[in-house]
Amino acid sequence: MINDTLLTGPTLRFDGDPAQRGWQDAVRVDTSGAVLIRDGVIARTGDADTLAQAHPQARRVSYGADHLICPGFVDAHVHYPQTAIIASWGKRLIDWLNDYTFPEEIRLSDPEYAAQIAARYLDLTRANGTTTVASYCTIHPHSAEALFRAAAAQNQRIVAGKTCMDRNAPGALTDTAQSAYDDSKALIDRWHGKGRVSYAITPRFTPTSSEDQLAALGALWAEHPDCLMQTHLSEQTDEIAWVRDLCPQARDYLDTYEAHGLIGERALYGHAIHLEPREVDRITETGAALVHCPTSNTFIGSGLFDMAGLRARHIPVGLATDTGGGSSFSMLRTMAAAYEIGQLRGTPLHAAELLWLATAGSARSLHLHDKIGCIAPGLEADLTVLNLASTPAIAQRTARAQDHWESLFATIMMGDDRAIADVWIAGARAALA
Ligand code: GUN
Ligand code: ZN
């Protein structure tokens, strides 16, 4: 028996990258759109009446004119273990790590606590419309297992890796070059490519990984080139000065990764705010992706990411909360912060570009654009339906809006989990917390 679902209502459509085509050509809203879902996959998209006539047996779910059917949000850089310490006051990066983050990550040495936090984290992000995240875990292999299991329980697509650290961290949070290699390899063998899981080899950053560890993880990546590799790059000036002291022979921060094979198409560098021209050139040449974490960059006081300059070089950029350095689980709030940082740099992003970054752009950075991030036939049916009139304040602004972009922008700037009308994961409607 055919088990089709037909969603009808205003539907977001992407026809390319807005940085290359201009948002007017790349992003559209089909006001009487429809999405036909079959076996967890988007089978057809098109006009609501046409698809309803062609598929009369489909279960129909109709969304009104003040809704927007979007791809599920993709958060390209998070630390799920930091869920319980989000919004911790008053520190910059290194003190914030030592005083808040590392003590909490030690608590995840308890596998039961790790499982509890993994499930809580996915509940919170799903309620905010996020269907896939790329997460750092802790150094404990069971922390990665916990997230993979929690995601599988909800049938969610997930990217994650055991975080590797063998210096400048508490003893309870360090591994070694060899154990980082062995544990990461075992996790790859067990999880990578199984179901909806992708593994990301995860050296936290140069200050906490020795050259031996970076080399071991570079070797592991060479053996598993279809894995992603995620790390941090040039987030704060104090951090960069520390890297210069630790690696005096390196040309710049990126070179500390490059020297050990930790650069390439499937590399993801979080933050990347204070880049040298050589670093931008190498990132461009290699096709590596950067991940912009705007609420984190303002919250920890890191600086203003150069979205316009880097996108003009055709560097793939994903958008991310960076929970719990970021101050919100919501990709709406994250889009708003990206807009504000664009304003501070004199290059504001349009609502269409913000939504593209939070979906297709992040999926592209994770090399998952053939699976998620877009509403198109053949892609997995991960969808987030926005209510563009979710609060009195937003509804009165939407009532005045001239077009969908104006009302979408009000939801981006002022919306929260109340704006998430529905989340569909692999074609099934998710229960939201
Ligand atoms: N750099 C190294 N580790 C982290 C982390 O957990 N959060 C942020 N924001 N930056 C980092
Ligand atoms: Zn991070």
In the predicted structure, residue 305 carries a pLDDT above the cut 90: yes
- Ligand 2 mean position, distance from CA 419 (Å): 26
Per DSSP (E only), the strands in 304-359 are 317-319
34 DSSP β-pair partners:
8, 46
Residues 6+ apart with CB under 8 A from 278: 251, 252, 254
Mean pLDDT of 314-325: 98
- Of 1-15, 293-307, 407-421, the range with the lowest mean pLDDT is 1-15
**Closest Cα to atom 8 of ligand 1:** 325
| Ligand 2: centre distance to CA 23 (Å) | 29
The overall average pLDDT reported for the chain is 97
Average pLDDT over residues 286-296: 98
Residue 360 CA, ligand 1 centroid: distance in Å: 24
Q: What is the pLDDT of residues 37-51, one digit of tens each?
A: 999 999 999 999 999
Ligand 1 atom closest to Cα of residue 302? 9
Residue 90 CB neighbours (<10 A): 9
Cα gap 243→247, rounded to integer Å: 6
Mutate to test the pocket of ligand 1, among 292, 298, 322, 327 (most ligand atoms within 8 A of CB): 322
Interval between CA 325 and ligand 1 midpoint (Å):
7
| Cβ atoms of 432 and 424 closer than 8 Å | no
Joined together, the tokens standing for residue 264 give 């390439």
424 lines ligand 1 (CB under 6 A): no
Q: Provide the whole-model pTM.
A: 0.98
Among 13-27, 160-174, 370-384, the least confident range: 13-27
Ligand 1: does its nearest atom lie under 6 Å from the Cβ of 138? no
User: What is the predicted pLDDT for the residue at 432?
Assistant: 87
The pLDDT tens digits of the residues spanning 399-412 come to: 999 999 999 999 99
Closest ligand to C-alpha of residue 273 is 1
Q: For residue 235, which atom of ligand 1 is closest to its CA?
A: 10
Q: For residue 267, report the distance from its CA to the centre of ligand 2, in Å.
A: 14
CA angle 346, 274, 334 (to 5 degrees): 60
Amino acid, single-letter form, for residue 427: G
Q: Per 3-state DSSP, what percentage of the chain is helix, strand, and coil (rounded to 5)?
A: 45, 25, 35
In this prediction, residues 344-357 reach a mean pLDDT of 98
Task: Note the pLDDT tens digit of each residue in 159-217.
Answer: 999 999 999 999 999 999 999 999 999 999 999 999 999 999 999 999 999 999 999 99
pLDDT at 433 over 80: no
pLDDT-derived band at 1, boundaries 50, 70, 90 = low
* pLDDT at residue 2 in the model: 73
Per-residue pLDDT reduced to its tens digit, 82-101: 999 999 999 999 999 999 99
Q: How far is the CA of 167 from the centre of ligand 1 (A)?
A: 15
- CA pair distance 106, 128, nearest whole angstrom: 27
Q: Which of 167, 323, 136, 320 is nearest to 243 (CA)?
A: 167
The number of the ligand nearest the C-alpha atom of 98 reads 1
Q: Which residues pair with residue 60 across a beta bridge? A: 6
Distance of CA 145 to the CA centre of its chain: 19
Task: Work out the widest C-alpha separation in the chain, in whole angstroms.
Answer: 68
In short, whether 296's Cβ falls inside 6 Å of ligand 1 is yes
Q: Is 26 helix (H, G, I), strand (E, B) or coil?
A: helix
Q: What is the CA radius of gyration of the chain?
A: 21
| Ligand 1 centroid distance, CA of 136 (Å) | 10
Torsion of CA 168, 170, 176, 177, to 10 degrees: -30
The best mutation among 100, 205, 293, 302 to test binding of ligand 1, ranked by most ligand atoms within 8 Å of the C-beta, falls on 205
Indicate if ligand 1 lies below 6 Å from the C-beta of 235. Answer: yes
2 three-class SS: coil
Strand partners, 423: 384
Q: Distance from the CA of 209 to the center of ligand 2, in angstroms?
A: 15
What the block records as the tokens of 400 is 């005045």
Give the residue carrying structure tokens 């997930």: 158
Helices and strands in the chain: count of H runs, count of E runs: 19, 17
Three-state DSSP at 110 gives coil
Closest ligand by atom to 294 CA: 1
Atom in ligand 1 nearest the alpha carbon of residue 325: 9
Query: 120 burial class (0-12, 13-18, 19+ CB within 10 angstroms)?
Result: middle
Cβ contact 7:35 at 8 Å: yes
In the predicted structure, residue 376 carries a pLDDT above the cut 90: yes
What percentage of residues in the chain have a pLDDT greater than 90?
98
Strands (E), 184-282: 197-203, 228-233, 267-271
